[in-house]
Amino acid sequence: MALCSYESSLFSLGHGAPVNLVEQLHEHYVCGRRVRVLARRLAPLLPDRARVLDLGCGSGEMANAIIAHRPDVGFEGLDVLVRPMTYIRVRAYDGVTIPHDDCSFDAVLLVDVVHHADDPLALLREARRVARACVLVKDHTLEGPFAGATLRFMDRVGNARHGVRLPYNYWPRRRWFEAFECLKLDPGHWETNLGLYPPPTDWIFGRSLHFIARLDCS
């Protein structure tokens, strides 16, 4: 559940070769833009003065960037891998059961986390359980030519060096909406074409592969 969970440039996937130059370019030119774009898009979707659980938060850099737009909200983080240095308070958890009571947060944030779960529906169910108002999700849709190969490529480049598990559990749009209906989550906001990358790379790695959704708790 690393912060920069998938995006990068080209390298050979098959042999685990070092990609230090690509990783450096990724960190400097991709991750920074991604955080800025997502923070700007996610911030208006949070309730006023919300207490937010950032699930799979990594370093908490995304939460910190959102706070720059929304100083009225507060964040706590959970992750299976707690980093030595974090922007927000982060606690370890088992990746299955959120150690909080029902409806204990106004909102739960999952940024490129659900597709890393062995059981994505169970993870969303836990997020729904502890959220009073809404669950915010940024993730992928398995839509379009070569979507699976592109998503696996991006996930491997962004996460393999961090030791993040890569089950590649990508869902098509239809499966996402089936999950929302099952969990009684109302997709009050669904947004694609996020502009995470500068052109022309966005034509390859952007497309319809990314979405943001605000799921209102009914």
Q: What is the CATH number of the domain that holds 29?
A: 3.40.50.150
Q: Is residue 123 part of a domain?
A: yes
Peptide bond into 44 cis (omega under 30): no
Instruction: Report the number of distinct structural domains present in the chain.
Output: 1
Q: Is residue 12 part of a domain?
A: no
pLDDT given at position 164: 67
Q: Is residue 13 part of a domain?
A: no
Q: Is residue 34 part of a domain?
A: yes
Q: Is residue 3 part of a domain?
A: no
pLDDT, tens digit, for every residue of 178-191?
Answer: 999 999 999 999 99
Q: Is residue 33 part of a domain?
A: yes
Residue 81 has pLDDT above 70, yes or no: yes
- Between 156 and 187, the higher pLDDT residue: 187
Q: Is residue 47 part of a domain?
A: yes
pLDDT given at position 31: 77
Is 96:124 a contact under the CB 8 Å cutoff? no
pLDDT given at position 30: 62
Is 64:86 a contact under the CB 8 Å cutoff? no
| Residue 40 parent element (H or E) | helix 32-42
Residue 3 CA: distances (Å) to CA of 57, 112, 113, 131, 147: 7, 8, 9, 22, 21
- The domain of 183 spans 20-217
pLDDT given at position 16: 41
End-to-end CA distance of the chain: 28
3-state SS, residue 191: strand
pLDDT given at position 197: 74
Mean pLDDT, range 128-152, rounded to an integer:
89
Q: Is residue 177 part of a domain?
A: yes
Mean pLDDT, range 106-134, rounded to an integer:
97
Between CA 62 and CA 43 the distance in angstroms is 10
pLDDT given at position 169: 87
